[in-house]
Amino acid sequence: MRAPALSSSGIAVHRPLTARLRPHGVLGAWQERNAEATIPHCVARLEDSGVIDNFRRLVGESGAPHRGFVFADSDLYKVIEAVAWEIGRSGTRRWDGWLDEVIGLVARVQDPTGYVMTWIQGVHPEKRFAELEWTHEMYVLGHMVQAAVALDRASGRDDLLAIARRFVDLLHRRFGPGREEGICGHPEIETALVELHRHTGEERHLALARRMIDLRGHGLLKTGHLGARYFQDHLPVREARTAVGHAVRQLYLNAGVTDLYLETGESELLEAQRAQWDNAHLRKMYITGAYGSRHRDEAFGDDYELPSDRAYAETCASIADLQWSWRMLLATGGSRYADVMEREIHNAIAASTDETGTRFFYSNPLQLRPDRYDEENAPRERAPWYACACCPPNIARLVAQLDTYVATADAHDVSVHIYADADIDLPPHLGDGVLEIRTGYPAGGTVDVAVRGRIEPGVRVALRVPEWSRGTVPADEDGYLRIDPGPGFRLDLDVSPRWTRAHPRVDALRGCVALERGPVVYCVEQADLPEDVAVDDLVIDLSVPPKADGATLHLTAHVTEQVTEQAADQATGQATGQEPALYRPAGPAARAGTTSTLAVPAIPFATWGNRAPGAMRVWMPATTP
């Protein structure tokens, strides 16, 4: 079956099913754009950025110097993985020649020991396995393994898998049980080793993943000024109950730990992961499904530290969390995990790519100030590529596999977790037919469900009822409505616009509200306002309900006009205008200025930045209703 996270044990509550997303639906159209625009764009940028040339120079086919970061090879493997899932989805042969070339290059660069990593081999051979906190060797190998498994699973092509297995064999010889203790500064190898175990049936890969997870938190890494928390090396995995440090590293590690639980059933692992999941999602998640509030170390902040304008909110962090939440869903069931995945798909991840599929955000702030300066990985506008290009290929590989996150099966039922226009083949033990999902979601809340063909007697379909629709649609304790599909069933979810407030401890958001409609978060963009009205001068009037016009919602806002301080010129005694005071007295008589009222368009956060660079806000100051 072509899907990631295919547990080989009987521990998982759910097993993934592959859906066929229809091209006119939101997610199906995204996959089509990914295939036609994003993947080709990534392939071209691998050439422009020097990633492919780094391999050529090691076999004498290029005289150019090495370009890119130490981990640049991983960009190639993520794009190969995207191509693999696209082959499995559509059967395309478009990339056969390219795969022949790049996999052939990797094979020729691989040395007799199995090692292959262009930065080490071509720039710093003395650093081979010598600085594991920074060299990313196991991280790069992890992406190679994931690409290789995907390619074999989706298309039956195993040449990259043979290369990856030789490199993994080297890892066993160097770091296996009874040998040198070593872990990677950037987690990723753990989940890859578990998936290799699932794909090959070799228990030693699972044992190596367990060993690396067991060794974390024992001070093996030279953490330097960033500290052990940055690397998740501050506590053993089974004792770590909070999400800390570099957000992507933490979330990739958690995916691997949950994968290990799914194969071993060790309750202590699951207990730790549940605690971490609660901490990350109840205290450290942005409303868009983004993570990481600090730029300096791309890290989680303290509990409730969620500034909108300084949100780092790296695209890769949302992708990593989706992968982790999916594994938690497979492990335990429960709609809370799919609710978060849906939030990430329709907001943080969707916003990271423009409408052409060829320009990307690395950082995804929830507020852009009008005078915000560009930072390398947090520019004012989406960029076609980055020096650290981890995000665009990650987007490509995720979107190519979106169809594998829609539905699952257990021993008795089919569960639908992510709503999309799709056809889902029933697994043989539940019938010989197709579950048809027809919906315009998320623009509308109507979901039509029908079975074409034979379904076994007593088999039910479990439909997720999102948390925001629980008041109008009944659901079981796990958040799902279970139905006997029969000739058809219609689920009506309430996608009325709603105002949302943050937890009172989120200091950055006191007095502010955000607008949501179904799973979609909205924002106000400067491009929709008159020239003389600034986004930052708007105060939402909560007494007037939003009015819908297609995907756009119209709000009523008061425009606060800046007060000009009146000061007397010492020579003439005449009043002169000055910059408004940064701070002013509080009290009933103190006011920021006169106000006027304006109808303000709000657009889905995922669509902002497609017209012109300018200010934007998700969280808006509001009047007390």
SS (HEC) of 162-211: HHHHHHHHHHHHHHCCCCCCCCCCCCCHHHHHHHHHHHHCCHHHHHHHHH
- Paired with 517 in beta bridges are 497, 520
Q: Do residue 464 and residue 516 come from a single domain? A: no
Mean pLDDT of 561-588: 61
The pLDDT, as a whole number, for residue 580 is: 75
Q: Do residue 424 and residue 536 come from a single domain? A: no
Mean pLDDT of 512-526: 98
Checking if the pLDDT of 564 tops 80, the result is no
Query: Which CATH number covers residue 150?
Result: 1.50.10
Checking if the pLDDT of 465 tops 80, the result is yes
Checking if the pLDDT of 322 tops 80, the result is yes
Q: Is residue 381 part of a domain?
A: no
Q: Is residue 591 part of a domain?
A: yes
Least reliable range by pLDDT among 490-499, 560-569, 599-608: 560-569
Identify the domain boundary among 344, 377, 405. Answer: 405
Q: Do residue 88 and residue 200 come from a single domain? A: yes
Question: pLDDT, tens digit, for every residue of 385-419?
Answer: 999 999 999 999 999 999 999 999 999 999 999 99
Helix or strand or coil: residue 264? helix
Q: Do residue 583 and residue 438 come from a single domain? A: no
Instruction: Quote the CA–CA distance of 196 and 89 in Å, as a whole number.
Output: 21
Checking if the pLDDT of 84 tops 50, the result is yes
The pLDDT, as a whole number, for residue 562 is: 58
The pLDDT, as a whole number, for residue 592 is: 52
The confidence band for 378, taking pLDDT boundaries of 50, 70 and 90, is confident
Residue with the two structure tokens 């890290």: 299
Instruction: Quote the CA–CA distance of 244 and 299 in Å, as a whole number.
Output: 7
Both tokens of 233, joined, read 């090396």
The confidence band for 624, taking pLDDT boundaries of 50, 70 and 90, is confident
The confidence band for 470, taking pLDDT boundaries of 50, 70 and 90, is confident
Report residue 460: phi and psi, to 5°: -115, 160
Mean pLDDT of 593-615: 90
Residues found in the chain: 625
Which residue type sits at 455? I
The pLDDT, as a whole number, for residue 99 is: 98
Share of the chain above pLDDT 70, in %: 96
CA angle 485, 487, 491 (to 5 degrees): 55
Least reliable range by pLDDT among 29-38, 67-76, 496-505, 588-597: 588-597
Residue 502, exposed/middle/buried by CB under 10 A (0-12, 13-18, 19+)?
buried
Q: Which residue has the higher pLDDT, 583 or 346?
A: 346
Average pLDDT score, the chain: 94
Mean pLDDT of 360-379: 87
Share of the chain above pLDDT 90, in %: 88
The pLDDT, as a whole number, for residue 290 is: 98
Mean pLDDT of 271-279: 98
Q: Do residue 504 and residue 482 come from a single domain? A: no
Report residue 308: phi and psi, to 5°: -70, -45
Most confident range (mean pLDDT) of 77-91, 369-383, 588-602 is 77-91
Q: Is residue 376 part of a domain?
A: no
Nearest partner of 4 among 424, 403, 392, judged by Cα: 403
Nearest partner of 255 among 343, 333, 317, 169, judged by Cα: 317
Structural domain total, the chain: 3
Checking if the pLDDT of 567 tops 50, the result is no
Residue with the two structure tokens 């998740």: 232
Identify the domain boundary among 379, 405, 431. Answer: 405
- For residue 485, the enclosing domain spans 409-492
The confidence band for 3, taking pLDDT boundaries of 50, 70 and 90, is confident
- Paired with 490 in beta bridges are 448
pTM: predicted TM-score of the whole model, two decimal places: 0.96
Report residue 539: phi and psi, to 5°: -130, 120
Nearest partner of 78 among 193, 182, 169, 160, judged by Cα: 160
Q: Do residue 503 and residue 445 come from a single domain? A: no
The pLDDT, as a whole number, for residue 18 is: 87
Q: Is residue 373 part of a domain?
A: no
Mean pLDDT of 67-96: 98
Contact (Cβ atoms closer than 8 angstroms) between residue 575 and residue 622: no
Question: pLDDT, tens digit, for every residue of 122-157?
Answer: 999 999 999 999 999 999 999 999 999 999 999 999
Residue with the two structure tokens 């909205």: 522
Q: Is residue 110 part of a domain?
A: yes
Q: What is the full DSSP assignment across 19-43?
A: EEE-TTSHHHHHHHHIIIIIHHHHH
Checking if the pLDDT of 584 tops 60, the result is yes
The pLDDT, as a whole number, for residue 223 is: 93
Q: Is residue 130 part of a domain?
A: yes
Helix or strand or coil: residue 248? helix
Which residues carry out catalysis?
Answer: 298, 390
The pLDDT, as a whole number, for residue 593 is: 57
The pLDDT, as a whole number, for residue 266 is: 98
The confidence band for 576, taking pLDDT boundaries of 50, 70 and 90, is low
Q: What is the number of other CB atoms lying within 10 angstroms of the CB of residue 513?
A: 20
Q: What is the number of other CB atoms lying within 10 angstroms of the CB of residue 543?
A: 9
Q: Do residue 399 and residue 446 come from a single domain? A: no
Identify the domain boundary among 405, 434, 456. Answer: 405
Q: Is residue 384 part of a domain?
A: no
The confidence band for 486, taking pLDDT boundaries of 50, 70 and 90, is confident
The 3-class secondary structure across 91-105, one letter per residue, is: CCCCCHHHHHHHHHH
Q: Do residue 462 and residue 355 come from a single domain? A: no
Q: Is residue 385 part of a domain?
A: no
Q: Do residue 137 and residue 116 come from a single domain? A: yes
Which residue type sits at 179? R
Nearest partner of 418 among 448, 463, 352, 452, judged by Cα: 463
97's CB contacts (< 8 A; 6+ apart) are: none
The pLDDT, as a whole number, for residue 625 is: 63
Q: What is the number of other CB atoms lying within 10 angstroms of the CB of residue 500?
A: 15
Q: Do residue 130 and residue 225 come from a single domain? A: yes
The confidence band for 574, taking pLDDT boundaries of 50, 70 and 90, is low
Question: pLDDT, tens digit, for every residue of 101-123?
Answer: 999 999 999 999 999 999 999 99
Q: Do residue 151 and residue 188 come from a single domain? A: yes
Q: Do residue 314 and residue 359 come from a single domain? A: yes
Residue with the two structure tokens 């490199």: 167
Mean pLDDT of 18-22: 95
